[in-house]
Every structure is written in C-alpha cells, then in structure tokens.
Amino acid sequence: MDEAHLIHRQAWLNRIVKQTEMRGKKEEYIFKDFKDFFDYEKEYREITGEIVPTIKDEELSNLLLKANM
C-alpha cells in the first residue's frame, strides 16, 4: 500500500511540475527551477522550528488562536 501511494504521489508531482501558463503569446513553465517547486531550506527551517509558517486564511487563523488559548 505504501509503495503504491509513493508511486501515485510521484505521478501527481510529475504532472504538477509540468504545468504551464500563457504569458502573452508564449507558454512558460510555472516552476522555472527546482527551488520554485520545493524549497528544501525553507521546509527544513519550518520542521526544525526556526521559522513559523504563516497562515493566510484569516478564519482558520482565528480558530487556531482560539484553540490555543
């Protein structure tokens, strides 16, 4: 089951990384380099607690604040 999950996740990520958008008359990749797709250093700092991820959804943020009181 875990191996099947990893295979399907990889297929999904392959699809995402190939996404393009039109800029004028030219079609360009959304992710120009690997760091745009996955910022290893940022993820590492979030996991180790060096930086705290920000929540952009105000309603969710308010619920989390209430839950932590």
pLDDT at residue 8 tops 90: yes
pLDDT at residue 12 tops 80: yes
Pairing state between β 20-23 and 26-29:
antiparallel
Residue 55's pLDDT is: 66
Q: Confidence class of residue 23 from pLDDT cuts 50, 70 and 90?
A: very high
Residue in 48, 52, 41, 44 with CA at minimum distance from that of residue 61: 52
Domain ranges of the chain: 2-67
Q: Is 25 helix (H, G, I), strand (E, B) or coil?
A: coil
pLDDT tens figures, 27-68: 999 999 999 999 999 999 989 988 876 767 777 777 777 877
Residue 29's pLDDT is: 94
